[in-house]
Chain A
Amino acid sequence: MRHLLEVKDLEVKFALWFGELTAIDGISFTLDRGERLGIVGESGAGKSVTGFAIINLISKPGYISAGQILFEGQELNRLPEDEMRSIRGNRISMIFQDPMMTLNPVLTIGTQMIETVLAHENVSKSEAVDIALDKLKKVHIPSPEKRIHQYPHECSGGMRQRIVVAIALLTNPALIIADEPTTALDVTIQAEIMDLLLELCESEKMGLILITHDLGVVSQITEKVIVMYAGKIVESGATQSVVQDPKHPYTRGLLKAIPGIIPPGSRLYQIPGMMPNLTEIPQGCSFHPRCTISESICSTEVPALISKDQHHRMVACHMVK
């Protein structure tokens, strides 16, 4: 069966005044219908850019320089803008990081929902209102009839993110891309939103790409995971096997940095050093300056992403046999 989404050798560059920066350096992955994928990495690893690249919305100096994005049999990066628009927010929805910033402050919640329905579906305005109310109920918003007449600033942060989720659901998309959907929220609300997303993906049979820096969240929600570092995939595979048996030293570092897994009282692990700036990516394996097991080959040759066992595990590391 054909995949819902197939990303092949995607490369994204930013054209700046001093030259070009490669933000994403040839990444590939697939996602099936109803499947949930996590993309993990530190900020600047290229996770968000990947998300925006899928719906062809990279901000200005950036552009897709190579590769293919196949979604439901269409090559998204070759689609004319108008056809791409009819997929955005329709077949693929996005959830942004900060719900305080994603809703337009001068339009009512109803307006911002109804316009999305009307942009994609041939329905009357009152039908669109019904759809909006229905989705607001789905995300457990009390008295939605009242809410749709309110402005975003009249709702709390958690409420707003629920509304954003409801907007993403409006057109029954096949895929939702959630870019750090809970980072800006309180811890208690984070869990609520994550549970909601999981519940909705299962009941509506939606695919989900969860972009986050938090491997803990990924292990609870997703089936597959990609670990990105400096624009490349360093490890990928089934979430359970990656979390239980991380192979790449970077993944191991990330897992050690999650509070709760280590015994209380001991110091939380920190990966030494910082992620390199895109202007100064090191030669060879880009992780080697921070790596605890690197050898001389690591600073000269770029490790390929290859299968290391039979469970679709892929690792890009010279040291992992």
Chain B
Amino acid sequence: MFAFIVRRIIQAILVMLVIGLVGFVIQHQIGDPIRDLVGERVTPAEREVIRDQLGLNDPFYVQYFRFVKNACQGDLGLSFFYKKPALKVIVSKAPATIELVIVTALILIIISIPAGIYSAIYPKSWFSRIVMAASTIGVAIPVFLTAIALIYLFGVELNWLPSYGRGETVNIWGWESGFFTWDGLKHLILPSVSLSSIMLPLFIRLVRAEMMEVLETEYIKFAWAKGLHRERVWYIHAFKNTLLPVITVFGVQLGILFAFTILTETVFQWQGMGFMFLEAVERSDTSLLVAYLVVVGVIFVVVNTVVDIVYGFVNPMVRIAGTK
């Protein structure tokens, strides 16, 4: 197990170095570190001096090494627009995105697992048929259209729910949270529902397919032959085996969820990292862009690695393979 974890972590570090390289190239080829630092009103001569001071005339690998070193210390450059360290800007925007993703993940798990299991156990019931038909159509609807439809229905026509912004937030140890006010929670509903709509069909189908496959296995037949209660066969014997592949895919999909937050946050003007990213593009704020790339990269790599390791703990087979 230990060897397995070490191998996964080394892999993760390599991926991070590659992402760092991409970020570095962008910052130095497209961005303008001098402008980020001192603005645009500088003479060419002054620029040259600053270039030298910043080490921008050093060989490529020296600069890359410096970039990685700074990144490891949390220094990802200055945001041109905010006039603040880029990482600080991102950190201030992160709670909004993280809360959105948490609520979405909860919705996904709460709906997809029971719905998937039910439609695997009773594939011919009307409920399962409706779920399957809806998920086929659901895959074809882009997330921003769902979001717009929800806004039109609940925000414009019915006027039940707020359709943009985060509403009232509470600051808890520097974390701007919308979880603790009624207004904040109401603002979370539409964005999280539309964000989960894109993943829900996929998750239900996945849980259903895995569960159906497991229900056909010999060990489930043996469990029936042992005279176990059907709840035990379904929820312990079958479900536990369904969980393994589902966990892996959930982990990967959680990453994709972050990608879709960019779309959702744009529609709902949700002041999170995704919204900030698009603003950074509009404002040509390269350093912030690169910082976002690195931060999202870290999130991905960490999530993937953690999922792999958790999978190793849940699956006794991987555990043994790792110790050998």
Same complex for A and B? Answer yes
A interface, CB within 8 angstroms of B: 55, 57, 59, 85-90, 93-94, 96-98, 101-107, 115-116, 119-120, 151, 153-154, 164, 167
* Chain B residues bordering chain A, tally (CB within 8 A): 24
Cβ–Cβ contact A88 & B225, under 8 A? yes
Contact of B225 among A55, A101, A103, A105 (CB under 8 A): A55
Partner of A57, one of B224, B241, B320: B224
Given A88-B224, A104-B223, A104-B241, 8 additional A-B pairs, CB 8 A? A57-B221, A86-B227, A88-B227, A105-B317, A106-B244, A106-B314, A107-B236, A119-B228
- Check A104 against B219 for contact (C-beta < 8 Å): yes
Q: Which residue of B lies closest to A81 (CB)?
A: B230
Interface centre among B222, B223, B229, B232 (most CB of A within 10 A): B222
In the bound complex, residues from chain B placing their C-beta under 8 Å from that of A119 are 226-229, 232
Q: What residues of B have a CB within 8 angstroms of the CB of A103 in the complex?
A: 219, 222
Number of A-B contacts (CB under 8 A): 78
Which residue on A lies nearest to B220, using beta carbons?
A104
Complexed CA–CA distance, A88 and B221 (Å) = 12
Q: Contacts A104-B237, A107-B240, A119-B232; is A167 near B320 (CB within 8 Å)?
A: no
| A102 nearest CB neighbor, chain B only | B222
Chain A residue, CB-CB nearest to B241: A106
- Determine the residue in chain A with the shortest Cβ distance to B244: A106
Closest to B315 in A: A106
Query: Residue A101 contacts which of B217, B226, B228, B240 (CB distance < 8 angstroms)?
Result: B217
Which residues in A have their C-beta under 8 angstroms from that of B241?
104-106
Say whether A89 contacts B221, CB under 8 Å.
no
Q: Is there contact, CB below 8 Å, between A85 and B227?
A: yes
What chain A residues lie within 8 Å of B316 (beta carbons)? 105-106, 151, 153
The reply on B218 being an interface residue by CB < 8 A is: yes
Q: Which residues of A contact B223 (CB under 8 A)?
A: 104
Instruction: Tell me if B232 and A89 are in contact (CB < 8 A).
Output: no
Contacts of A107 on B, CB cut-off 8 Å?
Answer: 236-237, 240
Q: Report the Cα distance A238→B91, complex, angstroms.
A: 82
CB contacts (< 8 Å) of A55 on chain B: these are 225
Give CA–CA (A96, B315) in the complex, Å: 24
User: In the complex the two chains form, is A116's CB within 8 Å of B217's CB?
Assistant: no
CB-CB contacts of B304-318 with A at 8 A, as 1s and 0s?
Answer: 000000000011110
Give residues of chain B (203-256) contacting chain A, Cβ–Cβ below 8 Å: 217-219, 221-230, 232, 236-237, 240-241, 244
Most buried by A among B223, B226, B236: B226
Interface pair B219/A89, CB less than 8 Å apart: no
A89:B229 contact, CB within 8 angstroms: no
Report the Cα distance A55→B227, complex, angstroms: 10
Residues 178-209 of B, flagged 1 when their CB comes within 8 A of A and 0 if not, give 00000000000000000000000000000000
> How far apart sit A150 and B229, CA to CA, in the bound complex (Å)?
24
Task: Give the contacting residue for A154; candidates B229, B236, B244, B320; CB below 8 A.
Answer: B320
Q: Complex formed: what's the CA distance from A120 to B316 in Å? A: 28
Q: Are B219 and A94 in contact (CB under 8 A)?
A: no
Asked whether A102 lies within 8 Å of B232 as measured between CB atoms, the reply is no
CA separation between A154 and B237, bound complex, in Å? 18
Q: Are A96 and B222 also in contact (CB < 8 A) when A106-B241, A106-B316 are?
A: yes
Select from chain A the residue with minimum beta-carbon distance to B314.
A106
Query: Which residues from chain A contact B221 at a C-beta distance below 8 Å?
Result: 57, 59, 96
Considering the complex, give the chain A residue whose CB is closest to the CB of B237.
A104
Contact of A105 among B219, B226, B232 (CB under 8 A): B219
Cα A164 to Cα B219 in complex, Å, equals 11
Please state if B237 and A116 are interface contacts (CB–CB under 8 Å).
no
Complex Cα spacing A86 to B230, Å:
12
Instruction: Please report the C-alpha to C-alpha distance between residue A60 and residue B54 in the assembled complex, in whole angstroms.
Output: 73
Residues in B with CB closer than 8 Å to A154 are 320
Q: Which residues of A contact B229 (CB under 8 A)?
A: 85, 119
A216–B314 Cα gap in the complex (Å)? 44
* Residues on B with beta carbons closer than 8 Å to the beta carbon of A93: 225-226
What separation, in Å, do the CA atoms of A94 and B223 have in the docked complex? 10
* A154 CA to B316 CA, complexed, in Å: 9
B240 touching A106 by the CB < 8 A rule? yes
With contacts A98-B218, A103-B219 known, is A57 near B225, CB below 8 A? yes
- In the bound assembly, the distance between CA atoms of A88 and B314 in angstroms comes to 30
Selected from A59, A85, A98, A153, the residue in CB contact (under 8 A) with B320 is: A153
Query: A89 to B320, Cβ gap below 8 A?
Result: no
* Contact yes or no, B237 A153, CB < 8 A: no
Are the C-beta atoms of B227 and A90 separated by less than 8 Å? yes
Contacts of A116 on B, CB cut-off 8 Å?
226-228
Residue of B nearest to A98 (CB): B218
Identify the 9 closest CB pairs spanning chains A and B, nearest first: A89-B227, A88-B227, A89-B226, A101-B218, A94-B225, A102-B222, A151-B316, A104-B219, A116-B226
Q: How far apart are the CA atoms of A151 and B237 in the complex, in Å?
A: 14
Interface hits, B263-306 → A, CB 8 Å: none
Residue picked from A57, A98, A115, most chain B C-beta under 10 Å = A115
